[in-house]
Amino acid sequence: MKITIFGSGYVGLVTGACLAEVGNKVVCVDVDPAKIALLNSGGIPIYEPGLSEMLQRNREAGRLQFTVDPKTGVDFAQLQFIAVGTPPDEDGSADLRHVLEVAETIARHMTDFKIVVDKSTVPVGTGDKVRRRLRGILDQRGADLGFDVVSNPEFLKEGAAIGDFMKPDRVVVGTENPHTIETMRRLYAPFNRNHERLLFMDIRSAELTKYAANAMLATKISFMNELSNLSEILGADIEKVRVGIGADPRIGFQFIYPGCGYGGSCFPKDVQALEKTALDVGYQPALLHAVESVNNRQKTLMFNKISDFFDGDLTNKTIALWGLAFKPNTDDMRAASSRTLMEALWETGARVRAFDPVAHGEARRIYGDRPDLHICSHADEALEGADVLAVVTEWIEFRSPDFTEIRNKLRFPAIFDGRNLYEPKAVTAAGLIHYSIGRRPAQPN
C-alpha cells in the first residue's frame, strides 16, 4: 500500500518506519527543511532504540521517502496520516492548529478520494473539525471530491515504540464507513496475524480511548505516589505494600511503582487536555484534577528532601544528578522530574553535575551553557566534587553501582533515590544514608 504521513516527529517517524518495514511505500512530509535534510542524509532528530536502523534500511530499499513538498505527499497516496504535534495551550487544552493546517493542506492539493487518518493525540470532536476544514477548503475550490476521516490513535511507549507498533496490544480505529474499515484492515493485516487486535468504533469513542488510556495510567502512578507519602509518614515500606497489592490480579504490578513524578510528552499533556475537555462541557473532573495535582507535588519531593538534609541552605552545594530524561531509553526531557529538581536547586544557589546516557544533548539544547550546570560524560564523573547524589531516571546502568566508591567520592554520605532503585541495606552497608520514596531514611549502622 502507499501511505503519506504528515509530521516527522516521534509518532510520524515510528509509524512511517514500521509501515515501510512490512513492505508498504511511505512518504513522510514535514515543514522543517533541516529535519528533512537530516533524515535524507541518514540522520535522525530523536532517540528511539532501533529506529535509526529501521529508517535507514527502508530508505535504502526505496520504501521510505522524506520531503518538504506537501503536494508530493498528497498526490502519492489515498491514505493521508496526520501525525503532527498537539502541544498544550496555556489553559491546558490541546492546540489543534497544526492538525487543522494539515487538513487544509490536503484539501488544497487533493484531486481524488482521500482517507485522512488522524494519528495525533486529539480531543473528542477533532474528527468533526478536520472534516469541516476539509469540506470548507474543497467548497472554496469548487471541487466535488470525496473523502473520509478516521481516528487511529497511537499507543506507543517511548523507549519501546517499535515493539509496540510491530506487536500491538490493540489497534483502535474510529470509523463506521465499510469501505474505510476494509482499507484499514488491509493496512494493519501484517500486524494482526496472531490474533484479532483491530478494534473498530465511532470516531469520538476512538478519540476518547486514547485520552482515557493515558489518564488511567497516570492515575495509577499518582495514586501510588500519594500512598507512598502516607507510607513514609506512617513508617511503612511502600515497596512491600506495592508487592502486596500488585499480587492481586485485579490490580497487577504495572504502573504502581512509586517515584518522583511522571513526565514526558503524553501523560501531563493528555491529563490536562482531558480535564479541559470536561470543563468545556460543564463537567467537573475532580479525579483528573487530583491526578495532576499529586504529580506536580511529587516532582518537588526530591528537592525538599535534599533541602531538608542541608537544613535549607543549598548555597554553593553541588548535587550529582543521575538521569535527565523523563524515563529510560529516550532523550525526551519534556516535563521531566529532573528539570523540576535542577531548576529548584539553581534558585537556591546550588550547582548540578548531571549525567544521562542519551539526553545530554537535549539538556544542552534546553539550558545552554550555564555555570551551575555541568553535563558529564559518564556517571562517575558526575560524582566528582559533589556533595550528595540524586537519582531521578531508572536507567539500567544505574541499578548496580559501587556504593563504596560513591561514598568515597561524595562530600556527604547520602543518596536520594527518586525511583527506589536500591535496597536500603546495600546502600547503608557502604556507609551511606539512603533517602527514597515511601520509606523513612535508612541510616548506616
Tell me the C-alpha distance between 351 and 349, whole Å. 7
| DSSP-derived secondary structure letter, 440 | P
- In the sheet that holds 2-6, the strands lie side by side as 64-67, 25-29, 2-6, 79-82, 114-118, 147-151, 171-174, 198-201
Tell me the chain's radius of gyration from C-alpha atoms.
24
Between CA 438 and CA 259 the distance in angstroms is: 8
C-alpha cell at 108: 488544497
Instruction: With beta carbons less than 8 A apart as the criterion, state whether 324 and 336 touch.
Output: yes
> Which strand (E) or helix (H) includes residue 106?
helix 97-109
Q: Which residue among 18, 260, 266, 376 is the active-site one?
A: 266
Which SS3 state, helix, strand or coil, does residue 435 take? Answer: strand
Contact (Cβ atoms closer than 8 angstroms) between residue 239 and residue 440: no
376: annotated active-site residue: no
Half-sphere exposure of 121 (CA within 13 A, CB side): 28
Ranges of beta strands (E only) in 261-360 are 318-322, 351-355
C-alpha separations of 145 from 6, 105, 176, 216, 288 in Å: 20, 15, 19, 40, 42
Rounded Cα distance, 162 and 55, in Å: 11
| Beta bridge mates, 2 | 25
Contact 58, 21 (CB under 8 A): yes
Q: Which residues are catalytic?
A: 266
